[in-house]
Amino acid sequence: MPISPHSSQPAFPGLGFGVGLRAPHYRDFLEHRPAVDWLEIHTENYLDPAVWDAHVLEQLRQDYPISLHGVGLAMAPRADFTNNICSKCAMSWQRVEPALISEHYAGARLVTVI
């Protein structure tokens, strides 16, 4: 289990103080490493390892436990879309090695009304 960078305790037993990492926070976190116990990110923002967001996350995950929170499955009524998102999420989970994963899921079915 990851250790908080600001104490010698495991990162998630009491959860501690975490913050949702957003693009406007990147510079501050990269330059100053604020004293929070963990970071939460939206999985869908980091699915492509070649984008700047993924580079920032790669740097910060060295110093902070990461909680991946997905919202993409709540918007997935088609099986092909869901399978594609699930595959990308699984690759992201392997790359990021998060301390915690949560995901919205909403099953939906299209019905034609005549």
10 has pLDDT over 60: no
Q: Are 24 and 56 in contact (CB under 8 A)?
A: no
Q: How confident is the model at residue 55 (pLDDT cuts 50, 70, 90)?
A: very high
Q: Scanning the structure block, which residue is given the tokens 């909680």?
A: 67
pLDDT at 80: 62
Longest dimension (CA), the chain: 63
Q: Which residue in 98, 77, 76 sits closest to 85, CA to CA?
A: 76
Cβ neighbour number for residue 101 with a 10 Å cutoff: 15
pLDDT at 94: 82
pLDDT at 64: 93
Q: Which residue in 29, 6, 30 sits closest to 19, CA to CA?
A: 29
- List pLDDT tens digits, range 15-52: 788 899 999 999 999 999 999 999 999 888 888 888 89
97 has pLDDT over 70: yes
Q: Stretch 60-66: mean pLDDT, rounded?
A: 93
Cα within 13 Å of Cα(71), Cβ side: 5
pLDDT at 12: 55
Higher pLDDT, 53 or 110: 53
